[in-house]
Amino acid sequence: MDEKKGKHFGEANGGIDGIYNGGKDVTHSDSESRSSESSDGGEGKRETWSNQLDFLLSCIGFAVGLGNVWRFPYLCYDNGGGAFLVPYVIMLFVAGLPLFYLELAFGQFASLGAVAIWKISPIFTGVGIGMIIIAALVAIYYNVIIAWTIYYLIRSCTTEALPWSTCGHEWNTAQCFNESMNYTKEERANLTRPSDEFWHHQVHKITDGIHDLGGIRLELLGCLALAWIIVYLCVFKGIKSSGKVVYFTALFPYVVLIILLGRGASLPGAGKGVEFYINPKFEFLLDAKPWKDAANQIFYSLGISFGSLTTMASYNRFHNNCQRDALIVSFCNCGTSILAGFVVFSTLGFMSVDSDRDISEVAASGPGLAFIVYPEALAKMEPLPQLWAVLFFLMLLTLGLDSMFAMMETVTTVIMDALPNRYRRWKWLIILGACFVGFLLGIPLVTQGGLYVLTIMNDYAGGFSLMVISICYCVAICYVYGLNRFGGDIKSMLGSLPNIYWKACWAVVSPLAMVVVVIASFIFYAPSGYNKQVFPPWAQGIGWVLTLLSFITIPLYAIFAIIFRTDSSFSILERIKTLLRPTWDWGPAIDKHRIEAGYDPLPADGAPPSPLEMKSNSVFETKKPHVALISSASMVDQEDSKDLYCYDQSVQVDFD
């Protein structure tokens, strides 16, 4: 072998070995987890959805969450009413829909979770780690919100008046009032409503500020434990269990929304509320705030950059039409947000008329809407206000659980992808451990000052970080791996290349839009606070640490990989080039699909091929096998057989 060929073999082999084992020989056990992906028998077989409706409903359940009900309607009201739909729809087509499809196609092609999938370009593995951090942080406080919902649901099951509808309880103050009391509008300005006092003085027994967390609220702690038990029971078998639960949790909210819309439309003042909701004020669009809010809502609502879409798609069959699924879920999600706006504002219109207040005084967002304003309106819906309250909180519970299923599956899939084949049968135990850790980390949020902590986490855990991760996502796939190359991967799944709209958005439009939103987020940054009180600087600092946690992993892991995960004999430039390339085992999980897509099958033992069987895998070269293989047409379907591939004949490989 001449010197040039020897050098190339060294680069190829060192690149593989360097990425996985610091330039040393890779053992069979080191590659066991990946070989399990191509194995189709026994405990190592990767799960797939029982049918595609399971996947579709799981995606809808994940995307349609609490934000559709308690955040979108208020954003619409606060940003020009019906005029807000203009930036909302534009952001959907500019960023939301393309990035949603990108994540689904990425996960479905490789059948790997949000971290392991970065075999496509190992230097970007920090992107996947950042996604997992965001999903874990959000799951911690999201289940606390579910715990609040369970608490309200339990308190709604009574034959007496709803506890937040009247004054005179032990938690009420002298400032409590309701419509049965004779006060003027001026006098009411210094008084509080019973629903507000129930939320702050009974549910939380809230302290004076974030500096004082107080004691643990035992009722909320019990509800939090129950929430995690429900999550575990629904996901402990992976998608085989959660994929069936979503038939109820994804569809039930629509039944309740339609019922509440009908009930709200029959109430006096409903028309006034709807008019307030949709009346367009186009002058608002001259400001940057509606555009920033629209982008943030699209990202939060569709669940982009949480890693959950990649994870759920990784359990799809290889030829599933994920483009169709992306369109269905995205439009369904946005339609649900608009429907929820009519439900909420028809009820707020009634509340405005009934309490002789302006709608702007009763409109609220987030927990204020779900646990103060709307429960007060439900208490006025005679007859049987308890029934309406039970339906409403059951709807919130199912909306929250769907999102929790996806986030927990995201976190546990990353752990399972990192473990060898033999540990896959213990997935139930891994999930149990993850739920228990999530419960422990949620305890500070069920203290008397826990509402402040949750507000900090909600304001800083996502948002800015999601945009940064999305930008890196697009750069890695479109410019490092190659847009045309990824388009060819999609063609192997769907039978056709992505059209110009998808390619233009992935490569140019969506990243630029996200850059603009990130800049706007800094320009219009407002410190976090609660109840018109801004948190102190040290609390804001903790919030920024949460923000940095998720995307600082991108450069940190890149530095770590360059130093420790490549051959020490390489120069820095050679190490970077090696880490930018896909690993030797990148591609579809099943050998039949690998050959269809132009990839070499995986060796039977999962170990890296020898140099003569190695393709260079350069980011600038095509994916053509360097050894002659039996054709996919003549292969036995691996889903029905345990036989692995074999070579038809060996050939001389020229790497020049």
Residues 6+ apart with CB under 8 A from 72: 297, 301, 337, 338, 340, 341
Per-residue pLDDT at 19: 43
Beta bridge partners of 192: 176
Give the residue ranges of the annotated binding site for Na(+).
Answer: 61, 63-64, 68, 301, 333, 399, 402-403
- Residue type at 535 in one-letter notation: F
Let me know if 265 is exposed, middle or buried by CB neighbors in 10 A (0-12, 13-18, 19+).
middle
Token pair for 540: 């804001």
Distance CA 340, CA 87 (A): 18
How far is CA 395 from each of CA 48, 73, 241, 333, 528, rounded to the nearest angstrom?
Answer: 28, 17, 20, 16, 28
Give the residue ranges of the annotated binding site.
Answer: 61, 63-64, 68, 301, 333, 399, 402-403
User: How is the chain split among helix, strand and coil, in percent rounded to 5?
Assistant: 70, 0, 30
Q: Where are the beta strands (DSSP E) in 363-417?
A: none
| Contact criterion met (CB below 8 Å) for 293 and 79 | yes
pLDDT tens per residue, range 476-509: 999 999 999 999 999 999 999 999 999 999 999 9
Question: Which of the four pLDDT bands, split at 50, 70 and 90, describes residue 390?
Answer: very high
- Residue type at 609 in one-letter notation: P
Token pair for 633: 């047409």
Q: Please, what is the angle between helix 289-302 and helix 464-475, to 10°?
A: 70
CA 221, distance to chain mean position in Å, is 25
Residues 6+ apart with CB under 8 A from 420: 29, 32, 33, 36
Q: What is the mean pLDDT of residues 638-656?
A: 36
Distance CA 455, CA 206 (A): 13
- Looking at the predicted structure, is the pLDDT value of residue 22 above 60? no
* Long-range contacts, 387-391 (Cβ 8 Å, 24+): 388/260, 388/263, 389/152, 389/156, 389/162, 390/153, 390/156, 390/157, 391/256, 391/259, 391/260
pLDDT tens per residue, range 570-614: 899 999 999 999 998 899 989 899 999 988 888 876 667 655 455
- Residue type at 583 in one-letter notation: T
Q: Which helix (H) or strand (E) holds 591?
A: helix 591-596
Token pair for 583: 């690993």
pLDDT tens per residue, range 65-122: 888 888 888 888 788 888 888 999 999 999 999 999 999 999 999 999 899 999 999 9
pLDDT tens per residue, range 257-290: 999 899 888 888 888 888 888 888 888 888 888 8
Give the number of residues written for the chain.
656
Q: Which helix (H) or strand (E) holds 331?
A: helix 322-355
